[in-house]
Amino acid sequence: MSLVQGRRNDLIKKSCKPPPLTILSHPLGDGVQFDDFSLTTDISDSVHYPPSIHTRVLKGSSCHADTVLANHRSNPQPLSSNDVRTFSKSWFHVYSQKKTNCSRRTMCAAAAHLPDLVSGPVCHRRSRRAKKKLRKQQRQLLEICPPVDQIIFSMDDINNNIIVFDGGNSSCPIITPPKRVTWRRHHVSDLHIKDDLRGDIGLTYRRIDGCLPFIRLPRNTSLAIISACGLVKVYNALQACENLRSPLCRSNKKRVFTDFGKPPCYACVGPQVSRNSPKVHNHPSFMDKLPMHHWESLLWLMRRAEEAFKTIADHQVISHIHFAKNAVPFKTFVMNRENSNSAKFFGGIAFGTNVFLRCHTDQDFTMSMSQVFVKGKPHYHLDDDVIVYFCFPTLGVAVPLRPGDYLLFNPLIPHCISSRCKQEDEIMCVSMYLKTAIVGLNDNLLPLTPLQERLADRFIQYKL
């Protein structure tokens, strides 16, 4: 299968204008050629992998709901083939200014995992662990295969329009845009919805550059991870953060929506780069008033997400972030006290009540995690109803999420959370991530170490 190679936006000549995108009747199954055209966007100092691998669009509307019954015990075995290749590392993001120290630090972190930079025994153990993880994924994950007539969205479509997805059931009112906002509303049934009621089976999609673009963990695994701490503590900590934070106004590209006529309740906590100085703050200032027991609950939430990450993520993704942390001492989530424990590699937590987002991408250094909760429900069960959908319009897929479900996903692939399925539910959507700006340390005057210089040069040499 051939595919357009990811382009570096900062190397595209301004005089080169992309051809207009057209509506294409395009199957998505095995053995299909992708169209040989590229998509360019505004000149930027950042590199998104991939900036142009999802450039097809079909128009229409259909509902493809496919559920595997609980008594179906076949082995999924979906993950050893059917790999889309873009000739770029499509699951991490760096800044592309070769001469600035912050950008070179992100390159250094991205290249630290390369096999020729570690010893032979380390490479051998890495290969053995990768094979072991693949076998585990083959046992536990079912690959979503959209039908050939599935509608998908182009990057041009997503960049030029506010696209939102309505996850409401038949009794839920249609979502309405705020004043002076024009959006394109789609129901989640316009995407392919695959579910599996077995607690020991998760969901994924065919590999892109050897990496799974998203993974919904098996529900038994998710419930086991969150069972160690009372959910009420998590609710209370997140609610306390929301109450401390005034309504957050995000950029138009990542605007947060909620029920019509209500201000969105949304907050981001964790390390943040300073806009006025070359610093990275441990947390936003409004978090200074948060009681310590809530800090402990947030750290618990972050560490559980990292545990879920390590449980199912591709081995090369785990190795990538491990070596990146060793190469660059970037900040992760830490409590507001001296000598406290910290997260291992995630930095920020973003969360909101009854919110949904427009389809967008994020400048995250590596894979991110999302989790959903229902307020007022102290215990979750295997057969809980779906409460929201996580949508990937360029893949044509919507992933159903139940309370407590973990979803690992590639933030460089356009994505969004839908509106909630039931009007009477009060749901909390939480995402854990690591911003590329945090990895760069936000200080161009801070010199790179000799090792970091070599790693950054190696990144450029390999054209990652």
Name the residue type at position 112: A
**For residue 263, what pLDDT is reported?**
87
Residues (pLDDT < 70) of the chain are 1-89, 117-118, 228-229, 246-253
Contacts of 223 (CB under 8 A, 6+ apart): 199, 380, 381, 382, 404
**For residue 80, what pLDDT is reported?**
46
**For residue 389, what pLDDT is reported?**
98
**For residue 19, what pLDDT is reported?**
39
Dihedral-angle region of residue 353 (phi above 0 means left; psi in -120 to 50 means alpha; beta otherwise):
beta
CA distance 333 to 344: 8
Distances, alpha carbon 449 to alpha carbons 165, 327, 329, 453, 455, in Å: 46, 10, 12, 6, 10
CA distance 223 to 52: 36
**For residue 252, what pLDDT is reported?**
62
**For residue 396, what pLDDT is reported?**
96
**For residue 84, what pLDDT is reported?**
61
Q: What is the pTM of this model?
A: 0.82
CA distance 335 to 350: 16
Residue whose entry in the numeric block shows the structure tokens 């550059």: 209
Q: Which two tokens stand for residue 241?
A: 């953060």
**For residue 193, what pLDDT is reported?**
97
**For residue 75, what pLDDT is reported?**
45
Torsion of CA 233, 238, 240, 245, to 10 degrees: 170
Residue of 400, 393, 397 lying closest to 421 (CA atoms): 400
Neighbours of 19 (CB within 10 A): 9
**For residue 358, what pLDDT is reported?**
93
**For residue 48, what pLDDT is reported?**
44
